[in-house]
C-alpha cells in the first residue's frame, strides 16, 4: 500500500536493550523526520534526513542513531534504551524543503515502553 508505515506499532523492551524502529515511505519523498511525542512537550524532532546518506540532528538526538541508505527507509535505533525514552515515536516525510511546502505526512506511530 502507498503511504508511510511504521513498525512495530507497539514495543515493550527492557532498559539497556537496543531497539530499532522502522519507517518506510512509498512516495520517494526526499525529506524524512523522526519525532517523539510526550505529554507536556508536544512533538520534538529527534533526527531528520534531506536525502539518502544525509542526516542531521534535531532537538533531542541524544541516545538515538539513524541511517538512510535508501530513500524510502529511515530506521531509528535506540542504542541502549532508557526509561526516559518511553514515548510515542512518529516518522514523517515531505517532498520539498522549500518555504511554503509545509505538509509533512506522518506514519501511525510506534508506542515504545522501556521497563
Partner 1 sequence: RKEVEQDPGPFNVPEGATVAFNCTYSNSASQSFFWYRQDCRKEPKLLMSVYSSGNEDGRFTAQLNRASQYISLLIRDSKLSDSATYLCVVSPSYGSSNTGKLIFGQGTTLQVKP
For binding to partner 1 (CB under 8 A), which residues are involved? 31, 33, 35, 40-45, 48, 50, 56, 58, 90, 94, 96-104, 106-109
Nearer to partner 1, 70 or 97 (CB): 97
Nearer to partner 1, 96 or 115 (CB): 96
Q: Are 4 and 23 in contact (CB under 8 A)?
A: yes
Report how far residue 45's alpha carbon sits from residue 61's, in angstroms, rounded to the nearest whole number.
8
Closest CB 84 distance from partner 1, rounded Å:
18
Report how far residue 89's alpha carbon sits from residue 81's, in angstroms, rounded to the nearest whole number.
14
Query: Cell numbers of 93, please?
Result: 516525510
Nearer to partner 1, 38 or 72 (CB): 38
Amino acid at each position: 500500500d502507498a503511504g508511510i508505515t511504521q513498525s512495530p506499532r507497539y514495543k515493550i523492551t527492557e532498559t539497556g536493550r537496543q531497539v530499532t524502529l522502522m519507517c518506510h515511505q512509498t512516495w520517494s519523498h526526499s525529506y524524512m523526520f523522526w519525532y517523539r511525542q510526550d505529554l507536556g512537550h508536544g512533538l520534538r524532532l529527534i533526527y531528520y534526513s534531506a536525502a539518502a546518506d544525509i542526516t542531521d540532528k534535531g532537538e533531542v538526538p541524544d541516545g538515538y542513531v539513524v541511517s538512510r541508505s535508501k530513500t524510502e527507509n529511515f530506521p531509528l535505533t535506540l542504542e541502549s534504551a532508557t526509561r526516559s525514552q518511553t514515548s510515542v515515536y512518529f516518522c514523517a516525510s515531505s517532498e520539498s524543503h522549500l518555504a511554503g511546502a509545509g505538509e509533512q505526512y506522518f506514519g501511525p506511530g510506534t508506542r515504545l515502553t522501556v521497563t
